[in-house]
Amino acid sequence: MKIKIGIFFGGKSREREISFAGGRTVYDNLNKSIFEPVPIFVDSFGNFIHLEWQFIYKGSIRDFYPPIEFLPPSINEFQIYVESLGKMEDNEYEKIINKIGKKILTEELKDNMDFAFLCLHGTNGEDGRLQGLLEYFGIPYSGSGIFASAFGINKGRQKELMEENGFEVPEYITISDFQWLYLDKSNAEKQKLYLEINEDIGFPMVIKPANQGSSIGVTILKTDSYSQFSKALNKAFFVEELTMEEWFSLDNNQKVEHLKNVIDIREGIGMPLLAGSIDVYDDCTKICHPEELLIFINDYFLKNKSNLFLHSIDHENEVIIEKFVEGKEFSCVVIEDEFTNIISLPPTEIVKGNELFDYHSKYLPGLSRKITPINISTDTINEIMEDCKTLFENFYFDVYARIDGFLTDDGTIYLNDPNTTSGMLPSSFFFHQAAEIGLNPSQFLTFIIAISLLKRSYDFKDVNMSPKVFYDIIFALEDLNNELTQKIKIAVIMGGYSSERHISIESGRNVYEKLASSEKYEPIPVFLTGDEAGFELYKIPINILLKDNADDIKEKIRDYKVHPVVDEIIEQSNVILKKYGSTSNLEEPAKITMDELAEMVSGAFIALHGRPGEDGTIQRELEKVGLPYNGSNPHTSMITINKYNTNEILSKNGFLVAKHKLIFQKDWDKDSRKLLKDIMDGFTFPLIAKPVDDGCSSAVKQIHNEEQLIAYSNLIFRKQEELLPKLLDILKLEPKEEFPQKSVFMVEELITANGAEHFIEITGGLLTHFKNHRIEYEIFEASETLREGEILTLEEKFLAGQGQNITPARYSANKTKRDAISEQVKDIFLKAAKVLNLEGYARIDAFVRIFEMNRVEVIFIEVNSLPGMTPATCIFHQAAINGYKPYEFIDKILTYGFERKGSL
């Protein structure tokens, strides 16, 4: 009988999306031979909801909660959380919960699980309250107990206790909301406080909330500026100040965009909020929905000339102001084994593009780098690890903790943020450092559960419950190790050399982890690298697989060595590795040929994006050595990699596509003025410019004028690899945004509603099956794609909780009409799939115009023969509607590959 693991995720904190994504990671990576995952979604009001499994694979909590039918009309398409629905009757609220699962009363928790795995962040998650509740009901849980959790949540109390225990702490002060928000309206007292802080702390200074994680609400103030200080302190308390002049300088679209930033729970203050004329909570109006807020602000400034203050209901009570520490930033995971030996895993250095390791840098692939172990002397690494172990022991942490800190140039070590619940995204420090000692995510989670069971047996004084389950796990692992050779070996090929290589790693890791926790497959991670002239394959160990991005992996393969510190930690962890790990996890990366790959595995899953994954090259090589693979055949892949060729074929077969034109570098170099005239004669601004053979929104830009068109052309046709700052500014590229060098790109008309009653952007997936030696297509319900700006960004596609996809797409508010339109769209997709001879699985992006009498126009954007398989990608949402869990979807894709090979 499998052990039921209740996974607690979501919650009310500002980190709820990271918690949601972390809970999904745990759900997917639990060893399915031993454990039965029970998803417990905690909503904003603290309700425990046994979530129906298909909702786990939504990209964001807002994608399913509140359900679509409960969303109030929003002409500005504001995306909201359930608390923005305002006050409701109990029976209405019950209806909302029942749409996504079943509410579980606290006294019913023990009946639903044997163990609680905690992925919650912030208040009511990692502050000891939930831990106390679980202890009251006798439910063993992961990680630290009540005291350490309470200590770990508040950065102010941390610093006091750390100072008392001899740890280095930078100069700091704490300010309560009463001290700042209730000071006199004239600002005289605030300016006096500022001068005192300036005198005591100096610049640069760090201003941050005491009870938040993920760098939310944090500002580094570099120069002496009272206005900037005031803004930073308001930001940390989650207060927004608006002036009449600033507000009326914005047009309506700009007002909406500004409010979207204000209500963002990660970068703004969130909702509901209080609005008033002074920066205190008295005499304020409570506002729940952004549309209501927009109306309120406009009305307020028509009647008042004073500034307007917006206060988050979920405001911060205390803010820390501390001296900025210049030095290397690191994070270190500390664990303990079953004999209570404390082991520090190798600390990771965080190399980032700006001073603040912010929300985006932490969770979006490629924006920062992790170097493990930190690039300093062995003696200093050992000092950091000893300090982290001492902190872990002194403050009664259990099982694991993540401890952040800084190392200054003079060798001073500052430990500044012990975390009892680490972020658990696939490439987080939690898994990244465990991989260094040979544990893949599934194995590390099993270890955490087992040791937590032992710790709780000591805490609960229960010798009959937790130890028995612990030994059940150990015996089950021994049985599984004996059965490992019976599993089907699958090479998961990832990486590449396109601008999509980092997303390819995320896709490959996700597929690897789904297969690694299954009862059927044994995945082998394979990294592909090279250039247009050719590629190489490398079988890589788990510690290389979980490096930050494709460039890091490539670097580590080429210069592979095991740091002496890591060797020592592996020796210390020998007991852990024997029980929970695998010797193959620590093998050196090895270059392999296609023939050697065929000897090693029974099949391959291509997780590559762009060339040489989606163009048929790798498919042809796999066919030569007789290995089955996922996705379309070489000929189809060669067509769909090229957006121009795909559109040409679709257009010739009667499908609607955007008007398009190829722009060649040779023509640009020969006569750029003539080429510009040709483009502007054939297209009107704004138009879309994009590479012909890259995806993931790489270098896709909406071009508004001739200056931007010239900048785009010069940038994509540039001779040197580095980007020119002036061109970046003209095109408004984001920091670290990659922009490929190409010899050709495509321009196409901007698709608009063109008189349609309803106009939406969609992305739809499909799956193929063999039945009676024929290919049959299963077309999924498409997702409606929502975006904040002109183009769907990399963050919206792949950063946890950032974008929003509504699945199924909202073609109409009337269900009967919606379903009828959906069938039309699916039929058009089916016909296009047959024309292109798509196989295995694929993703189709399109615009849909809906006219009177349900007349539908589908305008194709692009077709992907190897769509992204990152954890939150919407093809998993679509597969879930048809009853496939992500692993089952991947299994179907692999099965088709095996059947196709057998049918040839």
Radius of gyration, alpha carbons of the chain: 28
Which residues make beta-bridge pairs with 491? 524, 604
Report the distance separating Cα 441 and Cα 233, nearest Å. 39
Whether this prediction's pTM lies above 0.85 is answered by: yes
pLDDT at position 360 is 46
DSSP 629: B
pLDDT at position 385 is 97
Q: E-assigned strands of 546-638?
A: 590-592, 603-606
Report the distance separating Cα 711 and Cα 638, nearest Å. 30
The DSSP secondary structure of 167-207, one letter per residue, reads -----EEEEEHHHHHTS-TTSHHHHHHHHHHHHHT-SSEEE
pLDDT at position 363 is 46
The answer to whether the CB of 751 falls within 8 A of the CB of 859 is: yes
Report the distance separating Cα 143 and Cα 163, nearest Å. 24
pLDDT at position 461 is 65
pLDDT at position 357 is 45
Report the distance separating Cα 829 and Cα 845, nearest Å. 10
Structure tokens at 736: 């670290």
pLDDT at position 355 is 46
pLDDT at position 466 is 62
DSSP 782: P
How do residues 255-282 score in pLDDT, each as one tens digit?
998 999 899 888 889 999 999 877 555 6
Helices (H), 306-440: 359-363, 378-394, 429-436
pLDDT at position 416 is 84
pLDDT at position 540 is 96
pLDDT at position 465 is 57
Residue type, 235: K
Helices (H), 417-465: 429-436, 441-460
Q: Low-confidence residues of the chain, pLDDT below 70?
A: 183-186, 213-214, 279-282, 352-368, 427, 461-466, 482-485, 695-697, 735-736, 787-804, 903-904
pLDDT at position 872 is 76
pLDDT at position 368 is 58
Burial 881-893 (b: 16+ CB within 10 A, else e): eeebbbbebbbbb
CA 26-31-35 angle, 5° bins = 90
